[in-house]
Structures are given as structure tokens and as C-alpha cells.
Structure 1
């Protein structure tokens, strides 16, 4: 039994939940009260769960694993699924995981948090900075998906689960109609919804849904 520490607003937690459900393995969610109490900033939580002060954390085999890309890679290696079929595909999966964590998810998740959940409205200069980089990243991925149905090869991998993690949340949380603005990404998301085990983030992760603030 895997234990997944996280919360419903966290697309990074959803990436791991998506993988666990696609694998069909038993798991349970452990709620992390990030949105209301800021639980991940608590020194005791950091000491006992994750020194980095972040979710998700996956408990497995007496270990606590953190960082969604690393967790996805660990699960793919352990279960021999969704990690790429040969050395070339495994390299491509890693390449896109790094791009996602450094740019694609990084910019978009930061913008979504500022718009929906931050205590004050986004600073216009910061918003412009993030939006320009979001749109560049989305354009790159949209053009890449013209080559094939998934990010790497013709079957889904953890690269798909990672890059899509924040794209299944309601458009009003980010102000982006991603599927409408980027047709290849929209078609790709529809294909990902067909993977057995996929479900809406708010249906599978713990914690109350919070209306966007700004």
C-alpha cells in the first residue's frame, strides 16, 4: 500500500496520483493542509515528512520519496511501465521531465497560484513575465505534439503525466482555456483522459475545493 501525501490543489500531487491509478496499485491519500494552515512550513512536518517542505511525498517500502518527477521515475522503474520502452525513449522521458519541472509546470503553476490562491492580486509586472513564458512553453509543447499522440513515442509515459498535471484543473483557476488555445494540447489531454484510472484531480485528491480569488 502506497501512501501519497498531498492536497487537491496540487498538480504535482495529481501527477503521482494519475500514475498510481494508471498502474492499478493500491494507495491511500494523506491530506496535507497546505492551503489553510501552511502545514508544510511546520518544522515538525519537515522533520518527519519532507525536509524540503513540499508535497507530494510518497511513502513506499519504509521510504519517503519526494519531488514528483523523481517519484514518477521510481514508480516507472519499479513497475516497468510508463517509463519508455528503450534507452532512447527513457532519455526523452527524462528530457521532458526536466523541461516540465524547470519551465512548463514551474511557470504555469506559479501563475495559477498567484491568480487563484495568493492573498493579494498578482503584480502586473510579474504576471506579464510569467504569461510570456507560459505561452512560449505551451507553444513548444503544442508544436511537439504535431509529431505524435504522446510526448514520447506512441504510448503514454510519465512525461505525459508530468506535463499534464496542472492542465486538468478548471480554466477559471488560471484564466487559460488551454485546450481551446492550443489544439494539439487539447487533443492530447483528451487522449490522456482515456487512460484507465484517469479522474479529475478534485475527485481523487483530499482537501476542499477553493474558489479563485482574483
Structure 2
């Protein structure tokens, strides 16, 4: 059985949702970043951590990729052109969406107050909106990002768009709003969110 360490309000949500989609049993330990005992699994004190047979795996994208490959689901096969397109889309989301939101969070409440630059958030919102315009050109016309099947980048993008709403980063592209609505009503998403 898998063990997921991290609160559902963190990137651990991505892992919880994926395991729900895969219908895999797991134990959830809702530790916050830097909580006591967490550094024995991740010396950086970050979540999520997935423990598999006593071995911790860190970084949400690495965990999602591992689970997708291990279970042969929610991913295209390694070494295929579809997988290369999938990985490219994943990297775009991490670089353009996740990174902007993480930097805004750092300058909002993570860094010591004297190190925060409040004005940077305006630049990050502008970049976030620009990235949305690029994303709608990369996504399939309907269904999921890559077409008819849910894949790893869908989980990451949905998490980022949900995070954006919480962080008051507007979603300006109608197609992304519709996409987010479709993703968030999925039963597996709802089960993960209920944690």
C-alpha cells in the first residue's frame, strides 16, 4: 500500500487525486511542510512524499510520472511521440503556471517579511495571463488536454488553476474555465478534495 505524506491543501493533492483515479489503496498522513518527522522522509521538509515499500519519492511530478508508468494509466507509453508531447506539456505547465504561483506564494507568506517583494505579483499575474493564451492553443479542442484521455498534465494544470483562484490570479481564458469546471466534478477529484 502507498503512503502519501502532505496536506490536501498542498501539491500532495495531485498525488491523492491520481491515486483516486487509479483506484489504488493508500494511507494518507496529512503533514504540513516542515512538520516534525517529515525530514526523515524528505530532508528539505517539503511535501508531497510518496512512500513505496519503505522508499520515499519526492516531488509531485516525479510521483505522478512514477505512478502513471507503474500502473500503465493516465500517461502515454515512454519512448513514444505522444509521451514526448505529454512531457512537453507537463514542463510548460510547471514552468509557466506552477512556477508563477509558487513565486507569488513565496513573496506573500513564505519568505521572511523583509525579503518579500509585493510588486512582483503584478508581473507574475501578467505572465500567468499570457501563459493561458498559449495554453489554449496547445490543448485539444474538447475533453482533456491531450484529447480523449486524462493524463498527468491534466492533474497538474487542474491543481494549478484551482491554486490560481485561491491566490487571486484570474483565469482569463473561457476554455480554461470550462476545462477546470469539467475536471473538478470528476468523482476521483471530489474524493481527493474531501480529504
TM-score (norm 2): 0.84
Corresponding residue for residue 191 of structure 1 = 182
Separation in 1 of the partners of 2:144 and 2:77? 14
TM-score (norm 1): 0.77
Contact conserved, 2:7 with 2:30, CA < 8 A, in 1? yes
Q: CA deviation at 1:98?
A: 1.6
Q: CA deviation at 1:125?
A: 2.6
Separation in 2 of the partners of 1:192 and 1:202? 12
Unaligned runs of 5+ in 1: 205-214
Flag the structure with more relative contact order, 1 or 2, with Cα contacts below 8 A and sequence separation at least 6. Answer: 1
Corresponding residue for residue 31 of structure 2 = 32
Task: Report the secondary structure of 1:29's partner residue.
Answer: strand
The two structures, once aligned, show a CA RMSD in angstroms of: 2.7
Task: Report the secondary structure of 2:150's partner residue.
Answer: coil
Q: 1:19 to 1:174 in 2, by over 3 A?
A: same
Corresponding residue for residue 102 of structure 2 = 109
1:141 aligns with 2:135: yes
Task: Report the secondary structure of 2:56's partner residue.
Answer: strand
Corresponding residue for residue 94 of structure 1 = 87
Unaligned runs of 5+ in 2: none
Corresponding residue for residue 9 of structure 2 = 9
Contact conserved, 2:4 with 2:51, CA < 8 A, in 1? yes
Q: CA deviation at 1:80?
A: 0.7
Count of aligned pairs: 193
